[in-house]
Structure 1
């Protein structure tokens, strides 16, 4: 009886871990989205620096 419970618990744990992982294509899509956000932030920061430099 105890081994059956242990096996069930291991299955539940494994399913929970697998649900949290991303597939290769999902990971690539997420990585590209984050990169696009960072590029936008960098462009905004460069524009702000350029505007401040023009004022002086």
Structure 2
């Protein structure tokens, strides 16, 4: 039961489907990556806290009567 070059073709198709923009090849050291991610997380948390403090009525509450 041979598959010929089907495996190779499948690998090529899978490689073509992978997003090329993301990955660990961003030129950052692990420490720089941690700092970047921590800053992004803090900004996200601050934005969420701001929405909660400012009313944050974005229609997500299930308290409609």
TM-score by length of 2: 0.44
Q: Which runs of 5+ in 2 are unaligned?
A: 1-24, 57-65
Q: How many residues align?
A: 32
**Match of 2:32?**
26
Alpha-carbon distance, 1:31 to partner:
0.1
Tell me which stretches of 4 or more aligned residues in structure 1 moved more than 4 Å.
none
Alignment partner, residue 53 of structure 1? none
> Can you give the 5+ residue segments of structure 1 that lack an aligned partner in the other structure?
1-17, 51-56
What is the aligned-residue RMSD (CA, Å)? 1.8
**1:36 equivalent in alignment to 2:51:** no
TM-score (norm 1): 0.50
